[in-house]
Structures are given as C-alpha cells and as structure tokens.
C-alpha cells in the first residue's frame, strides 16, 4: 500500500499532462505494459506500447529509442507496440517527435527504462511471487492452527456458511474453515476432536446428523464411564473406614 501511495502522485501528474497536451499544443508520451515485467525499479521486459497525446492537428509521429526511429505513425491513434527483447539489455531513452498540419514540430517528454533479459525477468517475478505465496500459506496455517493451540473448541451442530464435514479419523463432525488449505479433492484441515490433519470436503446434512449422533453417543458413554470411575473411587474411599 505504501508503494502505491508513493507512485500515485506521479501517475496523476502524468494523466493530467496527457489530458492537457492537446489544449496546450504539447506532445505527451506514455509507456504502457501489454505483457511482461514492469517493476517499480524502472526495469522492464516483454511487450510494451508507446502512445502519444497531442494537438488536434497532429499529422505524424516518429517514435524513437535512443537516437533511432522505432516507427513512424501518420494517423491516430498514434501508438506503437514493441518488444524489449528486440533491443540490447541496458538503459534506453524513449521519446517521440510529432508534426502538425500547420508545420510545427513538437518533441515529447523522455521516458528512461532499463531493458532486462527474460531470465532476469523470471528471477524478478519469482522474487515477488515466492514471498507472497509463503505469506499466504503462513496466514492460512496460522488461521487453522491458532485455535487449536489456544484449545478453542467449536460447538457441534454450528457449522457456519461453509457447512460442515466429518473427520475420516475419528468420525466426528466439525465446520469447514474459510482459510482452509485447498487440496485436490477438498481442504486440508485439523480435526478439533482428535487433533489429526486430513483432507476433508463438505458433507450433506444427513451425514452431519449421523456424525452428531455418534458424537452425542460418545459424550454419553464418556459421562457414564466417568460416573462409574467416580463411584468406584468413592467405594474405595469408604472402605478405608470399614473395620
């Protein structure tokens, strides 16, 4: 976001200059990326277009790279597409010279860019994509793992807008999480009941109801077992006082 705010004033200035070019009899050159790499460090690679905005009586435009003509356009729209790979890597100056019907000759602003190779472009793109993917994966893992680390338990029967699923390990139901890691056949999530990870997908209401019944049965059995254990401990404690 800070990078966007940094370059926003320059973009607005360039836009205003293009809009006022025809009114002031000036020639404004802009560079547009069609396909390829265009970083904030003035390094570019791929297909780009040069476009000129000028006075209404503009008749012809010569586009230049350094001191050589790239193309001559004699009708609107005055633009030309080029590939950086057709030129030697390094810094290049781009500008245009326009000719009006009244015989005036106008020179545009200059745009300086560094042309890089395809290999350098791939490295630059990977340098952006890999950290972003890593951050996204960390956020997804954190969203899925933090509730487990905090010991947060969800209520069975409340699954949210994404529905519920059934753990293939313990057979108990739980809700599908929004930031769950997408896999080929479902989402990779951790069961809040048994704590095991597995690939799960959305289960029908009938399947969830059956899993809920199993859950209630296990809760009942667990409570019954606890009562039996408490009764046995109480009997043992009471037997200490018997003679």
81/19 Cα distance (integer angstroms): 21
| Average confidence (pLDDT) over 98-108 | 94
Helix (H) or strand (E) holding 69, with range, is strand 68-73
pTM of the model: 0.50
pLDDT band at 137 (very low <50, low <70, confident <90, very high): confident
pLDDT for 139 beyond 90? no
Percent of the chain with pLDDT strictly greater than 90 = 36
| Average confidence (pLDDT) over 125-135 | 77
| Average confidence (pLDDT) over 89-113 | 95
pLDDT for 38 beyond 80? yes
pLDDT band at 1 (very low <50, low <70, confident <90, very high): very low
61/175 Cα distance (integer angstroms): 63
Helices (H), the chain: 2-24, 118-149, 205-239
So what's the pLDDT on residue 22?
A: 46
Beta-bridge mates of residue 36: 46
Burial of 155 (0-12, 13-18, 19+ CB in 10 A): exposed
47/218 Cα distance (integer angstroms): 64
So what's the pLDDT on residue 9?
A: 52
Which range, 97-101, 124-128, 150-154, 166-170, has the best average confidence (pLDDT)?
97-101
So what's the pLDDT on residue 18?
A: 46
**Residue 207, helix vs strand vs coil:** helix
Average pLDDT, the chain: 79
| Average confidence (pLDDT) over 15-25 | 49
Domain definitions of the chain by residue range = 2-116, 154-236
pLDDT band at 227 (very low <50, low <70, confident <90, very high): low
Hunting for tokens 């690679």 — which residue is that?
45
pLDDT for 85 beyond 90? yes
pLDDT for 169 beyond 80? yes
Which pair of structure tokens corresponds to residue 36? Answer: 């390829």
113/117 Cα distance (integer angstroms): 13
Higher pLDDT, 216 or 237: 216
So what's the pLDDT on residue 17?
A: 47
Identify the architecture of domain 2-116 in CATH: Sandwich (2.60)
Which pair of structure tokens corresponds to residue 86? Answer: 């057709």
For 206, phi and psi rounded to 5 degrees? -65, -45
pLDDT for 63 beyond 90? yes
Cα separations in angstroms, 239 against 105, 121, 213, 229:
113, 82, 39, 15
Contact 90, 46 (CB under 8 A): no
Hunting for tokens 């793992």 — which residue is that?
145
So what's the pLDDT on residue 40?
A: 75
């Amino acid at each position: 976001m800070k990078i966007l705010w940094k370059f926003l004033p320059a973009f607005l200035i360039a836009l205003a200059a293009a809009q006022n070019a025809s009114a002031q009899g000036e020639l404004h050159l802009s560079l547009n990326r069609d396909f390829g790499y265009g970083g904030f460090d003035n390094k570019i690679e791929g297909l780009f277009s040069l476009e000129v905005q000028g006075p209404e009586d503009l008749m012809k435009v010569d586009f230049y790279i350094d001191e050589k003509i790239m193309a001559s356009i004699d009708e609107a729209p005055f633009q030309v597409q080029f590939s950086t790979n057709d030129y030697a890597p390094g810094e290049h100056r781009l500008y245009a010279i326009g000719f009006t019907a009244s015989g005036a000759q106008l020179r545009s602003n200059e745009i300086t860019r560094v042309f890089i190779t395809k290999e350098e472009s791939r490295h630059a793109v990977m340098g952006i994509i890999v950290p972003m993917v890593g951050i996204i994966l960390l956020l997804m893992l954190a969203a899925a793992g933090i509730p487990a680390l905090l010991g947060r338990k969800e209520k069975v029967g409340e699954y949210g807008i994404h529905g519920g699923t059934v753990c293939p390990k313990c057979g108990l139901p739980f809700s599908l999480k929004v930031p769950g890691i997408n896999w080929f056949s479902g989402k990779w999530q951790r069961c809040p009941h048994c704590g095991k990870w597995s690939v799960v997908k959305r289960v029908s209401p009938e399947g969830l109801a059956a899993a809920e019944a199993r859950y209630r049965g296990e809760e009942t059995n667990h409570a019954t077992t606890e009562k039996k254990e408490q009764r046995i401990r109480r009997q043992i404690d009471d037997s200490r006082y018997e003679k």
